[in-house]
Every structure is written in structure tokens, then in C-alpha cells.
């Protein structure tokens, strides 16, 4: 039986085994999927052991995405752009690395939330790994412009400089949260870690254009602090990152198995479990 896994530290909280078990049942794929706890200094050894035991591929979560990038012998363009890998596939040619986070975000926005990105003004909050991982897919969606805002402006500026060539005709801008005053956006995406600290980024008022969507990559029971603040500031629509989690998993499943599972029933069941917890 084909074996897959998610590797991280910590890992007990991961919903990936539940998601991929549902995908396998739905598509009638025969496989197992488990969660593996890797020592902080033992990621490569954990991957090697899993592969030697018959593993076909694995997802990679914090804090190992950079190590997975280094471990991959071949990488997808989106993994190369992200500088991080969250999906490994083992085949006769070695270890292939992909990054499905950005594709998962874009599909959640455009497919699940019916929020087209082409021609929209997008604000991306944060300039760390989460932001970097979604830059290329967001730019590929042809927004009217993409603005990055970060507490440390130099990091946002560096990220913009790195993706200028990939932006094509899409204007890119970088600045501080305070620099956003007087601007409005159609889609505001929180890629900062503020929600983990039960905080919201210190944003100026009036950022949300009529009908705008506020999206937090984090998820949980109820609204995150970012979404609470967005509602108060007039965002017409709110969404958390649970759909992104399911969609990036579907991208991994497609890479491994060659079939895209239907995500709507899996997302609905996860939402029911979280809200009922």
C-alpha cells in the first residue's frame, strides 16, 4: 500500500491525515497517510527513513519547509519562487519539491469564495515565509496591483524587489502599515503571525473598498483578531485560512496521485468539526 505522511514539529495538531484520508476515500485511492514527528535536528533523517520504508511522498510543515527546499533535488517553479517546499514526491529520479500554499490560497479565493483576483487591488500583510509562498500565484492571477505592508518595511521592499520581474505589468508596492492610510483595497490578506499572538496588525482605518474581502491565512473557531478588526473597519466579506489548508492539500494529492479530489465536502466537514469543538 502506498504510504504518505506529514512531517513537522509539533505535529499532533495536524489535520492533514484527516484531509488526505477523506480524499483517498472519495477518489478510491488505496493509500495510508500518517503524521510523523521529526526531531528539530532530524528532518532529513526522518525523510530518509520514511522513504526507505516505502514512502511515496510527504507534506512538510513548520519548521522544516526551508530544509525540505534544500533536500529537494528538483523543484517546481512555484517552490523555487517561494524558497520553501511543503510537498515532497519520491520517484525514480529522486526527490521532487513543490510548494502548494499559494495555489491553495488562490483556489480558495477564486473557487470556494467566488472572489476573482484579476483586476483587483490586493493588499498582502507580512513579508515572511507565508507571504513569500503566495507571491507568485497571486501575481499569476493578474491583479490590478499588489501591495505589501510589513512592520519592518525593508523586508517588504526586499520581497517586492525579488518579485519585480515576475510581476510583469502588475504594479508592486511596499511600505509600512501606516503608509497604507488613504488607500483602499478589494482583497486584504493577512500573512502575518499576529493572529497566533491573539493580535491584529495595526492598520489604519478605511482600507476596505466597497464589497472588499478580508482573508486571514490562520483559522480557528470563530473570527481571528484580524477578521474582527476587518469587520469593524467595514470589510464586506470575511474568510479564514481553513479553505487554503484543504486546497493546498488537494494540490499535493493531485501531484502524488494524478487526480484532483473535490474539496467542498471535506472543507464543510472540517468546518463542522472546528465550530462544534
Beta strand pairing call for 87-91 and 94-98: antiparallel
Known binding residue 206? Answer is: no
Catalytic one of 4, 50, 65, 243: 65
Known binding residue 86? Answer is: yes
Known binding residue 61? Answer is: yes
Known binding residue 96? Answer is: no
Known binding residue 150? Answer is: yes
Q: Which three cell numbers stand for residue 113?
A: 469564495
Q: Which three cell numbers stand for residue 276?
A: 462544534
Known binding residue 154? Answer is: yes
Known binding residue 84? Answer is: no
The secondary structure of the chain as a DSSP string is: -EEEEEEESS-TT--HHHHHHHHHHHHT--EEEEEEEPPTT-HHHHHHHHHHTTEEEEEE-TT-HHHHHHH-SEE-HHHHHHT--SEEEEETTEEEEE--HHHHHHHIIIIIS----TT-EEEEE--SHHHHHHHHHHHHT--SEEEEE-SSHHHHHHHHHHHHHHHTTS-EEEE-SGGGTT--EEEEEE-SSGGGGT----PPS--EEEEEEEEES---SS--HHHHHHHHTT-SEEE-THHHHHHHHHHHHHHHHS-PPP-HHHHHHHHHHHHT-
Known binding residue 152? Answer is: yes
65 catalytic per annotation: yes
Known binding residue 15? Answer is: yes
Known binding residue 129? Answer is: yes
Known binding residue 14? Answer is: yes
Known binding residue 75? Answer is: no
Known binding residue 241? Answer is: yes
Known binding residue 151? Answer is: yes
Known binding residue 140? Answer is: no
Q: CB within 8 A of 66, min separation 6: which ones? A: 83, 84, 129
Partners of residue 96 on adjacent β-strands: 74, 89
State the binding site for NADP(+): 126-130, 150-155, 217, 241
State the binding site: 14-16, 61, 86, 101, 126-130, 150-155, 217, 219, 241, 248
Active site residues: 65
State the binding site for shikimate: 14-16, 61, 86, 101, 219, 248
Amino acid at each position: 500500500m502506498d504510504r504518505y505522511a506529514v512531517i513537522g514539529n509539533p505535529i499532533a495538531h495536524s489535520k492533514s491525515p484527516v484531509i488526505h484520508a477523506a480524499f483517498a476515500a472519495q477518489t478510491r485511492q488505496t493509500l495510508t497517510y500518517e503524521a510523523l514527528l521529526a526531531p528539530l535536528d532530524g528532518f532529513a533523517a526522518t525523510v530518509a527513513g520514511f522513504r526507505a520504508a516505502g514512502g511515496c511522498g510527504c507534506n512538510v510543515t513548520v519548521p522544516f519547509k526551508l530544509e525540505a527546499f534544500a533536500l529537494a533535488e528538483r523543484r517546481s517553479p512555484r517552490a523555487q519562487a517561494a524558497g520553501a517546499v511543503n510537498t515532497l514526491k519520491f520517484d525514480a529520479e529522486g526527490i521532487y519539491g513543490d510548494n502548494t500554499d499559494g495555489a491553495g490560497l488562490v483556489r480558495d479565493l477564486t473557487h470556494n469564495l467566488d472572489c476573482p483576483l484579476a483586476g483587483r487591488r490586493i493588499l498582502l500583510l507580512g513579508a515572511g515565509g507565508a507571504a513569500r509562498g503566495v507571491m507568485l500565484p497571486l501575481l499569476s492571477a493578474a491583479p490590478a496591483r499588489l501591495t505589501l505592508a510589513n512592520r519592518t518595511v525593508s523586508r517588504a521592499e526586499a520581497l517586492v524587489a525579488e518579485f519585480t520581474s515576475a510581476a510583469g505589468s502588475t504594479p508592486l508596492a511596499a511600505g509600512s502599515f501606516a503608509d497604507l492610510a488613504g488607500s483602499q483595497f478589494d482583497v486584504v490578506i493577512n500573512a502575518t503571525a499576529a493572529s497566533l499572538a491573539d493580535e491584529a496588525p495595526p492598520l489604519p482605518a478605511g482600507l476596505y473598498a466597497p464589497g472588499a474581502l478580508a482573508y486571514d491565512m490562520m483559522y480557528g473557531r470563530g473570527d481571528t483578531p484580524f477578521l474582527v478588526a476587518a469587520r469593524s473597519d467595514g470589510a464586506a466579506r470575511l474568510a479564514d485560512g481553513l479553505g487554503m489548508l484543504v486546497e493546498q492539500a488537494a494540490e499535493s494529492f493531485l501531484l502524488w496521485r494524478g487526480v484532483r479530489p473535490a474539496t467542498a465536502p471535506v472543507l464543510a466537514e472540517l468546518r463542522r468539526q472546528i465550530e462544534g469543538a
